[in-house]
Amino acid sequence: MKRPIYYPQALLLMTLLCCTSLAQAAERWFRVELFVFSQGGAAAAREESWDPEPLLRYPDNYRFLLDPQRIARNKSLHPQAKSQIDSRGLQRITFPEPGDLAAVDIPIIDSPASDDKPLDNGEGGHQELANADQPPAPQLPQAYALRDASELTFRGKAAYMERNGSYRTLFHQTWLQPIVSESQALPIILDHSGDDAAYPALQGSIKLYLSRYLHLETNLWLNTQGDYLSGEWRMPAPPLGPSSVQVVKPAKEILSAEEALSSLSAQEGLEPAAELEQPGDDTDSSPHYPYRHAVLLQQSRRMRSNEVHYIDHPMLGLVVKLTPLTDSDLQQLGAAQSAL
């Protein structure tokens, strides 16, 4: 008789901590630490000639970093829904169809096997027993998940810079990831403007890839108050980033008044009713852009592992370090994660 099969509850941490066998890890893994800060202030900015309307856009193909706190908060807002993270870091929160219990995070336990009969599955059963005696394959840590702040090696320098100069931290995180070829690598979105519907000071993406050397491409912009500009002209608002969370509700929803009228007209052969005016239709639903201008940091830099690299800019600074991880490192990190 079959042994009991347990399907664990699809909790958030199980989604985040899903691992991959080390035997499947053909890529080269690195620890990435990225520190982005503003610098210089208006005085330094006035010495430069800035593009009044730089081309600011997000890539068409991209991925997200995994922020455990943000993912947990999104899940807590929809406790009855199922939360899953796809291969690009998009969190998909799916509500069950009415009466569909399968889509809810409920543990399912198969009927337990009886002990009064021996387990006999033919050759397959003996193979299953043999495999059960083997230790599980080592596991990889979760790629692209933000690590604890205690692992930041630039933290002391970042605090010193903020205390002793016109510097402000815009982004400072560390994570683990495989770095692949340029054609396979996806840009990483750094901001959450698409989730929060608000403009942060820093927007954009970076791309890490491996050719003969390691390479970093930046597509970042700093939103500013434009104190270095003359007159009262303001730049058009840049785009908001893509959203890292998608909420999927049941298809069987109650029709709105507009949809009901349209459906009734279709059934009775009537001309479609004029579009209903909704409250607030005459207002712009886009969030207010609280800045006046943006400056772009768009560069490509060749790098070496284990070295600290600095990208300079009159108003932005970027410090990055890529530390290679051995199989032993990955095994230890994966084991520590699995123990949580």
Q: Nearest CA to 206 among 144, 159, 152, 148?
A: 144
Both tokens of 150, joined, read 């205690």
If one compares 244 and 5, the residue with the highest pLDDT of the two is 244
Three-state secondary structure string covering the chain: CCCCCEECCCCHHHHHCCCCEHHHCCCEEEEEEEEEEECCHHHHHHCCCCCCCCCCCCCCCCEECECHHHHHHHHHHCCCCEEEECCCCCEEEECCCCCCHHHCCCCEECCCCCCCCCCCECHHHHHHHHHHCCCCCCECCCCCECCCHHHCCCHHHHHHHHHHCCCEEEEEEEEEEEECCCCCCCCEECCCHHHHCCCCCEEEEEEEEECCCEEEEEEEEEEECCCCCCCCCCCCCCCCCCCCEEEECCCCCCCCHHHHHHHHHHHCCCCCCCCCCCCCCCCCCCCCCCCCEEEEECCEEEECCCCEEEECCCCEEEEEEEEECCHHHHHHHHHHHHCC
If one compares 127 and 313, the residue with the highest pLDDT of the two is 313
pLDDT 10s digits, 286-338: 789 999 999 999 999 999 999 999 998 899 999 999 999 999 999 999 999 88
Evaluate whether 200 touches 212 at the Cβ level (below 8 Å): no
The whole-number average pLDDT for the span 214-235 is: 94
pLDDT 10s digits, 46-98: 878 889 999 999 999 999 999 999 999 999 999 999 999 999 999 999 998 87
> How would residue 230 be classed by pLDDT, with cut points 50, 70 and 90?
confident
Is the pLDDT score of 120 beyond 70? no
**Pairwise CA distance, residues 208 & 34, whole Å:** 11
Rg (Cα) of the chain, in Å, rounded? 26
- Report the C-alpha dihedral over residues 279, 284, 285, 291, rounded to 10 degrees: -150
pLDDT 10s digits, 6-47: 444 434 444 444 444 444 446 899 999 999 999 987 777 787
Evaluate whether 311 touches 299 at the Cβ level (below 8 Å): yes
Q: Nearest CA to 289 among 203, 167, 188?
A: 203
Query: For the chain, first and last CA: distance in Å?
Result: 33
- In the block, which residue shows the tokens 């009466």? 99
% of the chain at pLDDT higher than 90? 58
The whole-number average pLDDT for the span 272-282 is: 41
Is the pLDDT score of 270 beyond 70? no
Hey, how many other C-beta atoms are within 10 angstroms of the C-beta on 227?
Answer: 12
Average pLDDT in the chain: 80
